């Protein structure tokens, strides 16, 4: 009888542990060139718990993403992290982007970025290394909508760049 209890617990225990654990690690970044505004608008969606844990480890700070009463340093460290992990080249030249803001939707943080005064795009390259240092199986999906072309890429640690030429 004791053997049966141990066997059943051995089967059930791993299932109980996996209830709150991600089965996959993914972020989604959407990039759109808005010709009327001559700007590239970027939205990056990242799971909050994964991002919090990564920033806590990286900066040795206890950072908590919370819609209300959030410490100002959360946004500072988030901006620093994104600048380090996401790089963009337009027409073969690195460009800076501006952090516009962030908002929360359940367990996801939406980060809004913009590159202003972009007259023409002949080539667009993005490197997205978000959370690669934390999860070996992290995937960063990049969806590009530039010059009436739509293209999607899945970036992984071994291949972290997407290039679109026109």
Which tens digits make up the pLDDT trace of 49-88?
A: 999 999 999 998 888 898 887 888 999 999 999 999 999 9
Summarize pLDDT for 104-133 with one digit per residue, the tens. Answer: 999 999 999 999 999 999 999 999 999 999
Looking at the domain assignment, is residue 108 inside a domain? yes
Query: Which residues is 113 bridged to in the sheet?
Result: 42, 99
Counted domains in the chain: 1
63 within a domain of the structure (yes/no): yes
Enter the pTM of the model: 0.83
Q: Which domain holds residue 116?
A: 22-165
Tell me if 130 is assigned to some domain.
yes
> What are the start-end ranges of the H helices in the chain?
2-17, 48-59, 72-85
Confirm whether 10 is domain-assigned.
no
Residue 123 belongs to some domain of the structure: yes
Q: What is the pLDDT of residue 23?
A: 67
């Amino acid at each position: 009888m004791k053997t049966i209890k141990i066997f059943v617990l051995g089967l059930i225990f791993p299932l109980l542990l996996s209830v709150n654990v991600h089965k996959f690690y993914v972020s989604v970044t959407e990039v759109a060139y808005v010709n009327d505004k001559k700007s590239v608008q970027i939205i990056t969606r990242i799971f909050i718990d994964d991002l919090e844990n990564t920033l806590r480890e990286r900066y040795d700070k206890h950072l908590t993403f919370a819609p209300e009463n959030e410490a100002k340093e959360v946004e500072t460290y988030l901006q620093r992290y994104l600048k380090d992990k996401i790089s963009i080249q337009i027409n073969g030249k690195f460009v800076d982007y501006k952090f516009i803001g962030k908002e929360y939707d359940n367990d996801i943080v939406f980060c809004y970025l913009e590159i202003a005064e972009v007259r023409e795009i002949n080539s667009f390259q993005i490197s997205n290394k978000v959370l690669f240092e934390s999860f070996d199986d992290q995937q960063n999906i990049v969806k590009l909508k530039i010059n009436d072309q739509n293209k999607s890429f899945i970036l992984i640690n071994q291949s972290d760049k997407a290039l679109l030429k026109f």
